[in-house]
Amino acid sequence: MSLINMAKREINCKIVYYGIGLCGKTTNLHYIHQTVNPQDVGDLVSIDTETERTLYFDLLPLDLGKVHGFQIRFQLYTVPGQVLYQQTRVSVLKGADCVIFVADSQASKLEENRTSWAELQEQLGRMKKDINDFPLVMQWNKRDLQDALPVSALEHYLNPYRFPSFESVAVTGQGVIDCLKVGINSTLRRLERI
C-alpha cells in the first residue's frame, strides 16, 4: 500500500519484480539504474550470494517528480527466486502497489514459471488483494534465446487475466522501460481511485 505523507506532500509506492531464480529480475533493476537520469534514481542496494544470485532483495529508489503537488517516489524491489526463500518473497511482497512478473521464456522453465505464478496469486489472495483490480505487468524475458517459447504459449499458461505484457531481453534493456512505465502508470491510476 502506498505510503502518503500529507505533511511532507510525498507519496511512496512499491513495485516488486517477481519470478523464478535467474529469470532477470535483478538485471531489470541494473538496466533501469544505468538508464534513468542519475538525479532521479538512488543507489541500487543488492545483497547477492557468492554465486551472484539475489539472497534477500534488491532495492532501487526512483524519484518521479511532482504530481498534483505531491512528490512521487517509487521503490523497486526484487524477490529471490529460489524455492527455499518463499518466506522472504512473502515479506518483500507485503505492501506492494504493483507487481512485474518476470517469466523466463525458455521452454525448460515453463513449469517453474507456472509454480511461481501460482505462488504469487496465492500470496496476493492472502494479502486480500483482488487480482482483477491489482496493477500487474507480465514480462516475457530472455526472448533472444533459441528455445524461447512462443509468446502465445506464455500468454496461455501465465496470463489468464490478460494483464499488459511485454517481450524483453533485460540484458540489453529491450522491453524493460516499457514494463516499468506501465507498472508506474497503473499504480498512479489506482492511487487516483483511492
- Which residues are 60's β-sheet partners? 76
- The kind and range of the H/E element at 78 are strand 70-78
What integer pLDDT is reported at residue 122 of this predicted model? Answer: 96
**3-class state of residue 61 by DSSP:** strand
pTM over the 0.75 mark: yes
pLDDT at 126 over 90: yes
CA-CA distances (angstroms) from residue 64 to 8, 33, 194?
15, 14, 20
pLDDT confidence tier of residue 58, bands split at 50, 70 and 90 = low
What integer pLDDT is reported at residue 116 of this predicted model? Answer: 97
Q: Which fold has domain 3-193?
A: Rossmann fold (3.40.50)
Q: Which amino acid type is present at position 148?
A: A
Q: What is the pLDDT of residues 79-99, one digit of tens each?
A: 888 777 788 888 999 999 999
Q: What is the mean pLDDT of the chain?
A: 89
What integer pLDDT is reported at residue 178 of this predicted model? Answer: 96
pLDDT confidence tier of residue 37, bands split at 50, 70 and 90 = confident
- Residue-range domain boundaries for the chain: 3-193
**3-class state of residue 169 by DSSP:** strand
